[in-house]
Amino acid sequence: MVKINNNKHYIIIIPTIMDDALAIRVFTKFWYLIGFTPIVLKFGWRNINDESDFTQSINRIITEVDQFSKSGTVSLVGCSAGGNIAINVFSKRTHIARRVINVCGALKSTGISSKFDTQTYVNSLKLCEKTLLEMDGEKKKRIMTIHPRFGDEFVKKETVITDGARNVTVPTYEHMFSIFMSLTLFSKKIFKFLKED
């Protein structure tokens, strides 16, 4: 387990496929009061045209994880499509990243909504599936998944729940509303997980 560095606990947050960084920044601004430093990083889904662009975007976030780890603890949070990116980054930096949280994001390629069925997104999910299959149990204990108890019109709960991870629900329905509520009103679940030994 990566220990908490008492200086700062940076939370790198990867937004949804819409790269809605401004909204996520607003939702998580109060996290400073809890003792976290949220850093919202767009993945850049709209600029990805091929495998090379995808790899470049992943590597850019890995570089940010490396940089922030020099002055504090780093954990990752991914919202919706950002969830599988957060897992993919975490798998490359398990020796640095303390924990990772997937908020309402599919982590398996089966049963995803055709609305977001771009080839890049599907490939990212397949990489995430492979990553989770190969990940050992101790590392999976450092993963939390969150999904709405009363349904999500885009992401089926079967694609979120991960064996060996901490899988929790929030008492909500609808995709974007559940992300908002997970990051705000029901954020205590996130904070507790991030602070645990």
Average pLDDT over residues 143-164: 96
Distance in angstroms (rounded) separating the CA atoms of residues 23 and 166: 26
CB 155 within 8 A of CB 179: no
With the CA atoms of 99, 103, 108 and 110 taken in that order, what torsion angle do they form, in degrees rounded to the nearest 10? 170
| pLDDT recorded at residue 50 | 86
pLDDT digits (tens, 9 = 90+) for 22-80: 999 999 999 999 999 999 999 999 888 888 999 999 999 999 999 999 999 999 999 99
Give Cα 173 distance to the centre of its chain. Answer: 19
pTM of this structure: 0.95
**pLDDT above 70 coverage of the chain, percent:** 93
CB 84 within 8 A of CB 100: no
Q: What CATH number was assigned to the domain covering residues 9-195?
A: 3.40.50.1820
